[in-house]
Amino acid sequence: MKKALLPTFAALGILALVAAFVFVYVTAKNADTDTASTSSDSSELASAVASDSNYIDDVGSDAVTIVEFLDFECGACGQFYPYVEALREVYDGDINYVVRYFPLPSHLNSMDAAIAAEAAAQQGEFEAMYHRLFETQGDWAGGTPPQTDAFRALAVELGLDMDAYDAAVADPATQARVEADFDAGVELGVNSTPTFFVNDEYIETSRLENLPEAVDAAVKG
């Protein structure tokens, strides 16, 4: 039952994650560019979903759509990961869940991690790589870059076509695809990770319950 979501979150240890929502602000890629606040009115902005966005749940255009801008090396994203999975399970069949890349410049392995995920996406295995990157985050996050061998090992573990994976990682278009998500996030006012939108509405996460409450309200119409 959907009403069980908040107790489920509590059982997982919600209070332990409150500190994880201290925002980590992006170092602007261009020092002369003023990044908008995430408190911007999303109704005046473009959709949070792009035509080439990666869906890990897709039940149709009439469903509630959640978009998460994330950084695979971000500790807060890693700590939030099990809560996202709980939310996806509770609302299975009622929501679309979209992941967009927002590799923070201060996280030196985050771009390579996103490129690995996008290379897997090109083989239809984005979700599998998404899971493995978060499940192994403690092994590579904060390590001396590059951690590309660690990411390639995950690709091998997932049974990807390694010639195609290596070609995708080396292709500048793959990084450009990641950067397009980042740039779209900046346009939407994203300046921290994780950042969530529900049906294109920015969700303030100063209270951890805000996300499931927003999803529940949207699902109920």
Q: Is residue 24 part of a domain?
A: no
Q: Is residue 23 part of a domain?
A: no
pLDDT of residue 45: 56
What would the mean pLDDT of 35-52 be, rounded to a whole number?
61
Dump pLDDT digits (tens) for 82-96.
999 999 999 999 999
Residue 213 clears pLDDT 70, i.e. is over it: yes
Q: How many domains does the chain have?
A: 1
For 207, other C-beta atoms within 10 Å of its C-beta total 11
Q: Is residue 109 part of a domain?
A: yes
For 45: left if phi > 0, alpha if psi spans -120 to 50, otherwise beta; the answer is beta
pLDDT of residue 42: 39
Residue 51 clears pLDDT 80, i.e. is over it: yes
Q: Is residue 28 part of a domain?
A: no
What would the mean pLDDT of 193-216 be, rounded to a whole number?
94
Q: Is residue 43 part of a domain?
A: yes
Query: Are 48 and 197 within 8 A, CB to CB?
Result: yes
Query: Are 215 and 66 within 8 A, CB to CB?
Result: yes
Q: Is residue 25 part of a domain?
A: no
Q: Is residue 72 part of a domain?
A: yes
Residue 12 clears pLDDT 80, i.e. is over it: no
Q: Is residue 202 part of a domain?
A: yes
The CATH number of whichever domain residue 73 belongs to comes to: 3.40.30.10
